Structure 1
């Protein structure tokens, strides 16, 4: 096989490591924590299903899906940073950018450059595609926490104001979903799944 194919296969083997990165969120049955690969599959599927609820300009769904598939690959090197870990967030972008540069450099140059651009687009969060991708990434842990009676929220003392701030970005591209999510948060507080 040619060098291009071999580099692509090296990348595919490398990103399999995403299956070993364990997140703080639990599976919806509460049996164990999910891994990054499971999270990635779930939010990509969510984007496909919930696209019809987008308000305003429709994103390029293929671009959204590609963005979602690669956005957490950096955690292979940088690890998962808990969304509510104030200290862990310090320097997060720099750690993840360094990881992105290493991981995407495994690919042939043109593909590596394209993936780096997609990753940066997600991180900047300014395009229609990135805004929708980010909204799916924020919504999914909320669903998992609600389904598990707030298991990860309660373990880490997360408050409703923290979760509300985290999901605020959902209202940019899917405001009806954001309103539903806010109601879910209020219900989680009422049920004792989430600190007020």
Structure 2
């Protein structure tokens, strides 16, 4: 499996073999082809079913399934269809920006700059009306100002930690990470769903007892 992040200035995939379609549909198809790159962006978490790393497209699919399955646990009513749109769109910028692991503080320093540049390039491929719509979805997810965005962020934080549990530690073993680090970085879950927040707390507490997360208050603890 490839682990390659495209550069913002890199030629589009359709420039290698131009499609015989122009106009609005041509722009939409070029976007659809370009986001195929998401399948090559690897995340830090390994799969529950295999030892290989999850890619961004698989992660987005998993979230899109988690939303309708777990929506009943949202503390505020959510529009399931809109929330699915948010989770499907939210990681597209990583095609150019790369994945930023939750416990990698060095990568988090430049995350906003990288992702803003990626959003401008990627969503700009779409027809103007859809470019505005998709950029608004991405901005909504990042800002967490709506019930849907808060729940989308909650499942986004829960999914990799479920994979960590299944791996017996996974990225919880990142140097400097303790149980308190994980609690701080997953607090968004409880902000949107008390029930899912309690699940996350149980995972952390049990993982500490199992020795999968370093216990104690030392380590990298910062904003989520």
Q: Under a length normalisation based on structure 1, what TM-score does the superposition of the two structures give?
A: 0.95
Q: Distance in 2 between matches of 1:15 and 1:111?
A: 15
Partner of 1:95: 114
Q: Distance in 2 between matches of 1:94 and 1:155?
A: 24
Query: What whole-Å deviation, never above 9, does each CA across 1:2-56 have from its counterpart, x for those lacking one?
Result: 511111100000001000000000101351110000000001111110001111x
Partner of 1:141: 160
Query: What whole-Å deviation, never above 9, does each CA across 1:47-92 have from its counterpart, x for those lacking one?
Result: 110001111x311111110110010010010111111111211131
Superposed displacement of residue 181, structure 1: 1.2
Query: What whole-Å deviation, never above 9, does each CA across 1:120-154 have from its counterpart, x for those lacking one?
Result: 11111111111000000000011000001012322
- Relative to its length, the structure with more helix (as a share) is 1
1:33 to 20, 30, 53: 53
Counterpart contact for 2:179–2:208, Cα < 8 Å: yes
Aligned length: 195
Q: Distance in 2 between matches of 1:43 and 1:179?
A: 19
1:154 to 173, 177, 185: 173
Partner of 1:188: 207
Q: Which SS does the other structure have where 1:23 is aligned?
A: strand
1:22 to 16, 36, 42: 42
Q: How does 1:33-182 map to 2 (within 5 A)?
A: 33-55=53-75, 57-182=76-201
Q: Distance in 1 between matches of 2:151 and 2:46?
A: 23
Q: Distance in 2 between matches of 1:173 and 1:183?
A: 17
| Unaligned runs of at least 5 residues, structure 1 | none
| Unaligned runs of at least 5 residues, structure 2 | 1-20, 216-224
Bigger CA radius of gyration: 2
Partner of 2:12: none
Counterpart contact for 1:145–1:152, Cα < 8 Å: yes
How large is the RMSD of aligned CA atoms in angstroms? 1.2
Q: Runs (4+) of structure 1 moved beyond 4 Å?
A: none
Q: Under a length normalisation based on structure 2, what TM-score does the superposition of the two structures give?
A: 0.84
